[in-house]
Structure 1
Amino acid sequence: MIELAEALRGTRWRRVEVLDSTGSTNADAAVLAAAGEPDGAVVVALHQTAGRGRFDRRWEAPPGATVATSAVVRTDRPMVDWTWLPLVTGVAVLRGIRAVAPGCELELKWPNDVLVADGNAPGKVCGILCERHEGLSTDPGAAAVIGFGINTSLTHEQLPVPTATSLALAGFDVEPLTVVASVLRELDDLLAVWQERGHLREAYTAACGSIGQNLRVQVSDTEQVSGVGDSIDPAGRLVVRTADGLRAFSAGDVVHLRRG
């Protein structure tokens, strides 16, 4: 097992904590953020007992089958640019996995998922959850907590849903902390670009499998919209070509449908 802090030397990730098990790394990082922890703290766990996804969905994987990471990021970018943080993280995860698992075919599903796109085990291999947290009264500035969970060695029997997969099922035996280090190095570089530009529109669009894809956007319990992914707009919204014309979505569950 690699020494993660040493592998991240020279990056913004100056405080690194690796846990065998925790409830939620995002919750742990939120405590640090609320206490005024500066930019660059990371919590990694080899097992989560109360992992959370979008819309507060909860899940738990067997010990050692996934690796969860959450990072505290502080920035002076306007709040409108924060919508790009999960997209930036997706690009970092995709590039980080590719670096340690050459040949792994990956794509992004807007806005929060990384998919194995080819081979015998297609499906979601990573989910991303970014949250905004306010500081204490003595530190009123807000911080972003960026969380991502990678399925490293889940078996078919352990998959939480049929649309999930793991690196092992896709044929890649990757040590968990090695892939975390790779992703965090990529994230460090991409956050620097985002800090300067406020977006990663070109990089995200190039990696996004939702573009050109027949898809369905579940906007709410009572509304869903079908169409073809057209583009990513400057605000990071998914633009869909529907029967009624172009429509931009800032949130929603996207389902990729069979290509026509």
Structure 2
Amino acid sequence: MLSSPLILLDANKIKKRLKKSSEKITVLEKIGSTNDYLKLHADQQVCLAEMQTQGRGRFNRSWHSPFGQNIYLSMRYAFQKDLSELSGLSLITALAVCRAIESIISIRNLKIKWPNDIVIGSEKIAGILIDVGAESHGYCDAIIGVGINVNMQNAAKKEIKQLWSSLQKITGKYIDRNVLSAAIINTVSDEIARFSKLGLSDFAKEWAEKDDLFGKSVVMLLEQKKITGIGAGINAQGHLMLKMPDKTLRAFSSGDASKDRV
């Protein structure tokens, strides 16, 4: 017997809540990865799946994707920008996902661990994976994948090798993924339009409020080397800034950052 009701994803229910009713939505029962599906189907805009067999996160890490519990969602966006102008895209997407969650659920302590892990305390709630391809005309096509632990209650340590939580574990309430999925699609679309028009600088205040690493001792794993510094926000390109032991500031465009547990 199920401890909670199982409300399956429904493209029509999601579509009814969208600001853009023309949005084409595909809901699949099972897929390798929603990002990979959109790569193979250029005519598709939004893809959700009940289950992923090859879900992945940053650094090609596996993303645990059991059936009917979480959100596995990918969206396609075309940008009239050069690839170099999209360096802040993952950050603003994380901000948009936080805003969408907070608009549906009474959670206000979500933070973002640079560049796009959404956490509560030291537990991961959601992650974002963006695949960007340059088009022949010089513009870019981005596939934005969002994975959120929604109603998941249990997972073996071998399945998730980090601290995690879910929205249901935090709130004690079952969450209709159709409602939350629509909020994410709407909010990400709105914030991407804002980003395209105004750039990353327009999100500076919001990032500062959600920055989980600011003022903390941070360990950056970069090319198998550990670098330690104090989180000092981001620069204009969205790169992580660390204050080094010699008081200089250093920018990181990539790497695996985490709070030092010492």
Task: Answer yes or no: same fold by TM over 0.5.
Answer: yes
Query: Which residue of the other structure, out of 248, 252, 255, is the alignment partner of 1:252?
Result: 255
Distance in 1 of aligned mates of 2:155 and 2:55? 19
Quick check: 2:82–2:138 contact (8 Å CA) kept in 1?
A: no
Where do 1:210-225 residues align within 5 Å? 210-221=213-224, 223-225=225-227
Q: Is 1:29 matched with 2:38? A: yes
Distance 1:104 1:19, change over 3 A: farther
Name the residue aligned to 1:96.
Answer: 100
Q: Do 2:218 and 2:228's aligned partners in 1 also have CA atoms closer than 8 Å?
A: yes
Q: Which residue number corresponds to residue 56 of structure 2?
A: 52
**Over aligned residues, Cα RMSD in angstroms?**
2.2
Does 1:130 pair with 2:160? no
Q: 1:115 to 1:216 in 2, by over 3 A?
A: same
Give the equivalent residue in structure 1 for 2:109: 105
**Number of residue equivalences:** 246
> CA 1:24 to 1:165, structure 2 compared with 1: closer, same or farther past 3 Å?
same
Q: Is the 8 A contact 1:100 1:174 kept in 2?
A: no
Equivalent pair of 1:116/1:170 in contact (CA under 8 Å): no
Contact persistence 1:151–1:165 (CA under 8 A): yes
Structure 2 residue 236 is matched with structure 1 residue 237? no
Report percent identity of matched pairs.
27
In structure 2, how many angstroms separate the alpha carbons of the residues matched to 1:71 and 1:215?
31
**Given the alignment, which residue of 110, 116, 119 partners 1:115?**
119
Q: Which position in structure 1 is the counterpart of 2:86?
A: 82
| Contact 1:210 1:229 (C-alpha < 8 Å) held by counterparts | yes
Kindly state the Cα deviation for residue 156 of structure 1 after the two structures are TM-superposed: 3.7
Equivalent-residue separation in structure 1 for 2:170 and 2:85 (angstroms): 34
For residues 156 and 95 of structure 1, the distance between their equivalents in structure 2, rounded to whole angstroms, comes to: 26
CA contact (8 A) 1:65 1:152 kept: yes
Q: What is the deviation of 1:112?
A: 2.0
2:71 aligned residue (58, 67, 70): 67
Q: Which secondary structure does the structure 2 equivalent of 1:211 belong to?
A: coil
**Equivalent pair of 1:71/1:147 in contact (CA under 8 Å):** yes
Aligned position for 2:4: none
Cross-structure match for 1:8: 18
Mean CA deviation greater in 154-163 or 21-30: 154-163
Name the aligned partner's letter for residue 236 of structure 1. G
Q: Any idea what SS the aligned residue of 1:177 has? A: helix
Task: Note the C-alpha offset of 1:79.
Answer: 2.0
Match in the other structure for 1:183: 184
Q: What is the rounded CA distance, in whole Å, between the counterparts of 2:134 and 2:238 in structure 1?
A: 23
**Cα offset, 1:224, TM superposition:** 1.3
**CA–CA distance in 2 between the matches of 1:177 and 1:147?**
16
Q: What does the per-residue CA deviation read over 1:120-142, in whole Å, with 9 as the maximum and x for residues that have no partner?
A: xx51010110011356x8x8853
Question: Once structures 1 and 2 are overlaid, which stretch shifts more, 163-172 or 233-242?
Answer: 163-172
Cα separation, 1, equivalents of 2:208 and 2:234: 6
List alignment gaps of at least 5 residues for structure 1: none
List, as ranges, runs of 4+ consecutive aligned residues in structure 1 with deviation greater than 3 Å.
139-142, 156-159
Q: Partner of 1:70: helix, strand, or coil?
A: strand
TM-score by length of 1: 0.86
Secondary structure, counterpart of 1:59 in structure 2: coil
Matches within 5 A, 1:169-180: 169-171=169-171, 172-180=173-181
- Mapped to 2, the partners of 1:110 and 1:141 lie a distance apart of 26
Write the distance in 1 (CA, Å) between the matches of 2:106 and 2:74.
Answer: 25
Corresponding position of 1:206 = 209
